Amino acid sequence: MKSTESAVVRFRLRKKSIHADFMTRVFLSIGLAIAVSFFAMWLLGAAPFDWLTILFIIGFPAVGIWGWRRASIGEVELSEAGLRVRRRTQTETYPWEDVASVKSATFEEVDEQGDNAALCRMLGVDLSHPLVVVELKRSVRQHLLLSRFGTRGSGIRMGTRISIEPEDAAGFVKAANQFLAACGSN
């Protein structure tokens, strides 16, 4: 947690988030499946094994992993105006009047049907660290052209719940609830 003079509190996001770890393992699995398939086809003489194939086998998972890892690097800012999540890939803005509650939870508590948790466990993703769940009064909207999310503006509706993975989840929930109470929106 880092505080600045204009009543802004910042929390760093976990670099090894559940989402980034899951997508990393998915891209590695897909890359491995493609590599084994191409190798089997080469052994059977059905496909040539050239440098373009090798580049694709290495490049596809590498670019995918790089992209998803970028989404877990950033910080969350709490201020009188609201909650802002700044990642390398996108910015999310939620005014306090649109926030219903902020609480800490585990991935299993957030995953209502249990399908995602089972898939994550199958891939060996660590689900032990807490998430922060922000319940919103308005639907989150994803802008069609820009990498922006928020409850104000135009875009595709994405639901009324977001999860954030700050390094200090308990400190984040405490600070966010103080801002929420100060804005009188609880």
pLDDT digits (tens, 9 = 90+) for 34-91: 888 888 888 888 877 788 878 888 888 888 888 878 878 899 999 999 999 998 888 8
**How confident is the prediction for the chain on average, in pLDDT?**
84
Q: Are 180 and 99 in contact (CB under 8 A)?
A: yes
pLDDT at residue 47, as a whole number:
78
Tell me the whole-structure pTM to 2 decimals.
0.77
Per-residue pLDDT band at 6 (split at 50, 70, 90): low
- The edge-to-edge listing of strands for the beta sheet with 2-3 is 2-3, 9-12, 74-78, 82-87, 91-95, 148-150, 141-142, 156-157
**74-182: what CATH class?**
mainly beta
* Tokens describing residue 107: 């991935």
Q: Kindly tell me if the per-residue pLDDT of 154 is higher than 70.
A: yes
Ranges of each domain in the chain: 24-69, 74-182
Q: Are 17 and 132 in contact (CB under 8 A)?
A: no
Q: Kindly tell me if the per-residue pLDDT of 102 is higher than 90.
A: yes
Per-residue pLDDT band at 115 (split at 50, 70, 90): confident
Of residues 53 and 5, the one with the higher pLDDT is: 53
